[in-house]
Amino acid sequence: MLLPSMALNVNARLAIGPTFLSVLLIAVAFHVYEALSEWSASLFSVGVFAWSLAPYALAVLIAIVTRQPLLGIVPASLALALDVYTLLAVRYVSHSSTAALAFLAVPMWNLAVVAPVGAAGAFFWLKFRHAHRRAP
């Protein structure tokens, strides 16, 4: 059992603050809802569920390695927005029989494009937000 002071120390070391933790919990809750409402119980469904959480694991890894929570919050938030959009598009808009393949493709887009671009954008924002103060 962790004491409160130990828990705060672990959070400070891992750069996972309450905002980042909230985004992660919302993402996991969303994907649990998606899994329970869209898919039947099978080993493939468990694999798709794990695959859909991979971008968030990358966001956590980025935040831990850089010790900058914002570098994890931005990619996780963008990935969550794309995941919500995909669910709405597949469930309510598309009438195609192959629309559900988006549940396999979107995590790849989140891993290959959304997470790196979000982390890079957050990095440059952090780097240059006070650049005018350092200029001579």
Domain contains 106: yes
pLDDT band of 4, cuts 50, 70, 90: low
The count of domains in the chain is 1
Domain contains 135: no
Domain that residue 20 falls in: 4-129
* Alpha-carbon distances of 17 from 12, 20, 104, 129, rounded to whole Å: 7, 5, 30, 21
Domain contains 15: yes
Domain contains 20: yes
Domain contains 134: no
Q: Cβ distance 107 to 67 under 8 Å?
A: no
Model's pTM, two decimal places? 0.83
Domain contains 21: yes
- 86-121 pLDDT per residue, tens: 999 998 998 888 888 998 999 999 999 999 999 999
pLDDT band of 124, cuts 50, 70, 90: very high
Domain contains 32: yes
* Alpha-carbon distances of 80 from 28, 34, 76, 98, rounded to whole Å: 10, 12, 6, 22
